[in-house]
Amino acid sequence: MAKELATKIHSSKFSVHYGPKQALFDITLDIPDRRVTAFIGPSGCGKSTFLRSINRMNDLIDSVRNDGRIIIDGIDVYDRTVDVAVLRRKIGMVFQKSIPFPKSIYENITYGLTLNERVSKSTLNDVVESSLRRSALWDEVKDRLQHSAMGLSGGQQQRLCIARAIAVNPEILLMDEPCSALDPISTTKVEELITELKDTYTIVLVTHNMQQAARVSDYTGFFLLGRMIEFDRTRTLFTSPSVKETEDYITGRFG
């Protein structure tokens, strides 16, 4: 009998409004610890809105209003006592477009570590090497750490952003279409990296690429018009979905 996985993120009837428009409707699901969970669905279906709700990135939008709960390790992330800065150190995020800082490769990795505390040079050196090794980038950049990160290729920049996210030792990695702007070779490297990192991190991935979800994720959720239509093990959802809308989407009948 398969061992039951621990839940890292629990969402209970979570809804989001942007002003008068409701973007998410009563999202309830359990995201397992140290696995890759993918969200698929057509554009505008709410998957990125939900992803950004996990680390409260939507707080930056003036008109946003939330109902329901998102609980991580037993703590409601929308509780008034939660320090959002601390929460975001626990939850790294990688965006669709790689956004390296206009600084050196070294400074990109150490930025988050030195923001609020003094860290020794030897510790910083260790973190830089470890993070770049874990992001499969060390061998490509180890001789030019003081060069501008803006000189890296698109695929290298995205892996640098992943290295920067894991440098502060988060527990969760959110990835919003991390490969959509990359060529096939760079996409393969990032997908291999995601598979390696799930032994250490809980990874939540938004992707338009159903083949990518099938390749890298353990669990998949299908969003449609702001609702979670179906959530299951990836193999089950893609081979024998239980909801007709899911089957129609993955077989290309719409979307």
Secondary structure (H, E, C), the chain: CCCCCCEEEEEEEEEEEECCEEEEEEEEEEEECCCEEEEECCCCCCHHHHHHHHCCHHHHCCCEEEEEEEEECCEECCCCCCCHHHHHHHEEEECCCCCCCCCEHHHHHHHHHHCCCCCCHHHHHHHHHHHHHHCCCHHHHCCCCCCEHHHCCHHHHHHHHHHHHHHCCCCEEEEECCCCCCCHHHHHHHHHHHHHHCCCCEEEEECCCHHHHHHHCCEEEEEECCEEEEEEEHHHHHHCCCCHHHHHHHCCCCC
Q: Which two tokens stand for residue 97?
A: 């477009």
Q: How far apart are CA 65 and CA 18, in angstroms?
A: 7
Structure confidence at residue 2 (pLDDT): 44
Q: Are strands 64-72 and 21-32 parallel, antiparallel or unpaired?
A: unpaired
Q: How far apart are CA 3 and CA 217, in angstroms?
A: 18
Structure confidence at residue 33 (pLDDT): 96
Phi, psi of 74 (to 5 degrees): 85, 0
Q: What is the pLDDT along the chain (255 residues), one digit of tens a residue?
A: 345 679 999 999 999 999 999 999 999 999 999 999 999 999 999 999 999 999 999 998 989 999 999 999 999 999 999 999 889 989 999 988 888 999 999 999 999 888 767 889 999 999 999 999 989 899 999 999 999 999 999 999 999 999 999 999 899 999 999 998 888 988 998 999 999 999 999 999 999 999 999 999 999 999 999 999 999 999 999 999 999 999 999 998 766
Pair 10, 30: CB distance under 8 Å: yes
Q: Which two tokens stand for residue 71?
A: 């609980």
Phi, psi of 80 (to 5 degrees): -65, -20
> HSE-up of 108 (CA within 13 Å, CB side)?
31
